[in-house]
Structure 1
Amino acid sequence: MASKQASVASFVESAPPGELSNVVADIKALAGNDASLLQSLEPAFRKYNEEQYATVKLPGSSEAVIVSEHNSMGDNRYFDTASQTSFQVEHSSQTASAVQQHPLESSNADLIRSLQKSFSKAAAEHFPSSVVGIYPTSSDSDIAILLVANKYSPQNFWNGRWRSTYTLSPSSGGLKGAIKVDVHYYEDGNVRMSTSKDVDVSNASGADAVVREIAKAENKFQEELNRAFVQLSEGSFKGLRRQLPVTRQRVEWEKIGGYRLGQDIGGGRSK
């Protein structure tokens, strides 16, 4: 059972963006009545949601909030500084419940509120759909700045996720973090791209300055991705196949059924 559990847990933790519900359905179909297996996978579901910055909507609210280790209170409970609430999460279904008041108590409370406002505004300008989370660290000396943007297009067989994670030191103005992009394309195949970039900025003082530095770093990363895709399309991918057949003539596919292999395509005499 241990080996089986580990294998299925690995399957859960590697689920592509927006496809955890499909993974859960597959596991239930394979597990049948094995409720103990599903229950044993709770740590894997929790790890996936926290690492992928899963978003949930609180009961009675249309606004989504982030689930991560940065705002974890333990026992599957998390807090949100913007709404000043805490909530319980059922990880396999990615649903929230048991909302309670959770006032923001931090020596950096004013800066956290300013960052929430500035970063949310900037994110709305660059992403069609995104969620921002600003949290005090456990030591209350630093601030964790999170952003997740999801774009799902199952009708076109692709899903994607952008995650940004930064740690701000208000005392020094240091800003460090990483940007991660994960895209899955699965029409007539299975292609997945996962890439990241580290960010290190000094002298980022004040909410507006911090957000400007983040926007600058993320725009630069986006431009680098665009250039890389153009190079792949115009260079590496084209090198994988010929532009024309060896005859230097385009194949008339509507007539392919009438070709005789040796004579019509190769130009030689058929035998």
Structure 2
Amino acid sequence: MPRSAALASFVQSTPPGELNDVTKAIKSILGDDSSVTQDLQPHFEQYNEEQFTAVKLPGGSEEVIVSAHNTLGDGRYYDVASQSSFQFDHATQRASAVQSYVLDSNHSDLIKSLVKSLSTHTDEHYAKSSSGVYPIDDDSALAILTVASKYSPSNFWNGRWRSQYIFTPGSGTLVGFIRVDVHYYEDGNVRLLTDKTVEVKVGGSAGASEIVRAIALAEKRYQEDLNKAFASLSEGAFKALRRQLPITRQKIEWEKISGYRLGQDIGGGSRR
């Protein structure tokens, strides 16, 4: 495999919150020189845009999203809520050079209403999240993004929720996806990756509140589906894969499986 393709594979498969660790590992193998940094740069950019990396602006209190939908080119991005643009360093994931930015769109009123309604929705349902709404495709559609990340490296797990919906006023459709990525790596290496497609007809004259209600319903249904899948896994496939006795030599209480910590309780790892 060519070096560039290998680097792309390493970076693009990085779990949430672990890009710095992967970068250090790559440089420890290839050497920390300018050629490695240069080769990594385009992969960092692709990773950050696809992951909807959230960054706090200098002097700001809220995190804003970096994506392909709000790029201005040359490493600059804009945010509707703060009415600002900023420079983003994809290697360090830091923002700088904040400037005022005025949105230019025929859907400005709808976008601003969506920003407000979407923020209310995410604040209610996610512990820490960022969201954004951006005009795309020559102002013929709107990209509605949400990202919620939670990192706990001291407990060996990190996770991220991403959702993207494209609302097209001309057809009244809301099409997108929901992606969940959770990595658990204490006494093992377990990763959950999901990808759910969403398609809803809301009507071309739908207002911000109606669009966000459709989003909220789709996300609620998906969360319920995930809960059912976990319940099925613990009662079915996971139970079938177990050894007769775990490393602890104690029988597993399967009716309490949802309360176990995978690495410590089942694998016999140390407790904290």
Report the Cα offset of residue 170 of structure 1: 2.1
User: Alignment RMSD, CA only?
Assistant: 2.0
The residue type paired with residue 233 of structure 1 is: S
The residue type paired with residue 14 of structure 1 is: S
Distance 1:15 1:252 in 2: 35
Residues 1:33 and 1:201: Cα distance change in structure 2 (over 3 Å) = closer
* Number of the residue aligned with 2:225: 224
* Number of the residue aligned with 2:259: none
* Number of the residue aligned with 1:212: 213
Report the Cα offset of residue 21 of structure 1: 1.3
Distance 2:40 2:82 in 1: 30
TM-score by length of 2: 0.86
Within-5 A mapping of 1:164-243: 164-204=163-203, 205-241=206-242
* Number of the residue aligned with 2:113: 114
Distance 2:163 2:193 in 1: 14
Matched, 1:86 2:102: no
* Number of the residue aligned with 1:66: 65
Deviations 1:137-165 (A, max 9, x none): 14101110000000111122111110000
Q: How many pairs are equivalent?
A: 248
Residues 1:148 and 1:33: Cα distance change in structure 2 (over 3 Å) = closer
SS of the aligned residue for 2:2 comes to helix
TM-score by length of 1: 0.86
Report the Cα offset of residue 189 of structure 1: 1.2
CA contact (8 A) 1:111 1:206 kept: yes
CA contact (8 A) 1:172 1:203 kept: no
Residues 1:54 and 1:252: Cα distance change in structure 2 (over 3 Å) = closer
Distance 1:81 1:43 in 2: 25
Runs of 4+ in 1 over 4 A off after TM superposition: 242-245
Deviations 1:65-121 (A, max 9, x none): 100000011111111111111111110110111111110111000000000000100
Distance 1:233 1:156 in 2: 22
Report the Cα offset of residue 33 of structure 1: 4.2
SS of the aligned residue for 1:68 comes to coil
CA contact (8 A) 1:5 1:37 kept: no
The residue type paired with residue 208 of structure 1 is: S
CA contact (8 A) 1:157 1:185 kept: yes
Distance 1:244 1:48 in 2: 41
Greater C-alpha Rg: 1
Unaligned stretches of 5+ residues in structure 1: 246-250, 254-271
SS of the aligned residue for 1:144 comes to strand
* Number of the residue aligned with 1:148: 147
Residues 1:55 and 1:244: Cα distance change in structure 2 (over 3 Å) = closer
CA contact (8 A) 2:12 2:43 kept: yes
Q: In percent, how many aligned pairs have the same letter?
A: 57
* Number of the residue aligned with 1:32: 31
Residues 1:30 and 1:169: Cα distance change in structure 2 (over 3 Å) = same
Report the Cα offset of residue 239 of structure 1: 1.2
CA contact (8 A) 2:179 2:193 kept: yes
Distance 1:252 1:83 in 2: 55
Distance 1:33 1:177 in 2: 39
The residue type paired with residue 230 of structure 2 is: F
Distance 2:32 2:151 in 1: 31
CA contact (8 A) 2:202 2:210 kept: no
The residue type paired with residue 49 of structure 1 is: N
SS of the aligned residue for 1:70 comes to coil
Unaligned stretches of 5+ residues in structure 2: 252-272
SS of the aligned residue for 2:188 comes to coil
Distance 1:128 1:120 in 2: 12
